[in-house]
Amino acid sequence: MIKLLEARGVGKRFGGLTALSDVSLTINKGEVYGLIGPNGAGKTTFFNVLTGAYIPDDGEFVFNGTELPTGKPHLVVQQGIARTFQNIRLFGQLTALENVMAGHHIRTKAGLWGILMQSKHAIEEERLTTERAFELLKYVGIERFAHTICKSLSYGDQRRLEIARALASEPQLLALDEPAAGMNATETGQLKVLIEQIRHDGITVLLIEHDVKLVMGLCDRVAVLDFGKKIAEDVPAVVQKNEAVISAYLGGPKHAH
């Protein structure tokens, strides 16, 4: 097994509140890795420090053998990590297609001069971007809304669109923050198929999810956070029976949807 991402003793505090403390974990290439825990356990915060939205107070991330820069989201994406948001964050005035095209930004190079002069290279790149974006819409199954302003898409479709946008940056690791939140059973089923497809296509997935069934069905391994600490890490079946995990969930609010 090849290590893709390694978190080493990551810590993050907000004033007096410790959102993450000494979290270490390793994600291997090609797996679906689950990150679960009660509300406020620090899962989203883990994403935020990983992707450079926040600067961690301690520890570091090693990705593909090199240390990730902190606090520089665009460089993290460049390295091959893409994310979605728990509370959907699309570009409201753009169509679905344009959202995905924007996601491809980092993999394109046309400069100001090329764009203003409409150089051959710029035109060709623009065409490729458009086609690739459309392919990705097909991939997540919403190509019929390609030219719809993203705000008017249904909730579930917006979530897929966010995934497509993230995929457009050609990541090796895709970090999904509660992709099934607010979805009905059918939509969740389709999402499961999509994530399996993504894994099949060679992209490693880091998944935050409250939907126990989804996590158990999809993940190769699961880590559990509670009050910012990792309290367990194993295959789903074992984690499910872990005493500490059970009491963490019983102690906090329940989440089985």
Ligand X SMILES: Nc1ncnc2c1ncn2[C@@H]1O[C@H](COP(=O)(O)OP(=O)(O)OP(=O)(O)O)[C@@H](O)[C@H]1O
Residues forming contacts to other proteins in the complex (CB under 8 A) are 15, 44, 48, 51-54, 73-74, 77-78, 82-83, 85, 89-95, 97-98, 101-106, 108, 110, 112, 115-116, 118, 122, 125-127, 129-131, 133-134, 143, 146-147, 149, 165-166, 168-169
- The Cα–Cα gap between 166 and 81 comes to 9
What distances in angstroms separate CA 46 from CA 4, 67, 196, one per listed residue? Answer: 16, 16, 23
The correct pick among 79, 86, 130, 172 for binding Mg ion (CB under 5 A) is 86
For 33-70, b/e burial (b = at least 16 CB within 10 A) is bbbbbbebbbbbbbbbbbbbebebeebebebbeeebeb
The correct pick among 44, 70, 119, 172 for binding Mg ion (CB under 5 A) is 44
User: Nearer Cβ to ligand X, position 19 or 76?
Assistant: 19
Do residues 202 and 196 lie in contact, with contact meaning Cβ atoms separated by under 8 Å? no
Quick one: tokens of 86?
């728990």
Quick note: the x/- pattern for ligand X over 26-65, rule CB under 6 A, is: -----------x-xxxxxxx--------------------
Q: Does 214 bind ligand X (CB under 6 A)?
A: no
Do residues 65 and 172 lie in contact, with contact meaning Cβ atoms separated by under 8 Å? no
Quick one: tokens of 99?
């959202």
User: Nearer Cβ to ligand X, position 5 or 100?
Assistant: 5
- The Cα–Cα gap between 21 and 83 comes to 22
User: Nearer Cβ to Mg ion, position 19 or 90?
Assistant: 19
Query: Residue numbers of the site for ligand X (CB under 6 A)?
Result: 14, 17, 19, 37, 39-45, 86
Query: Residue numbers of the site for Mg ion (CB under 5 A)?
Result: 44, 86
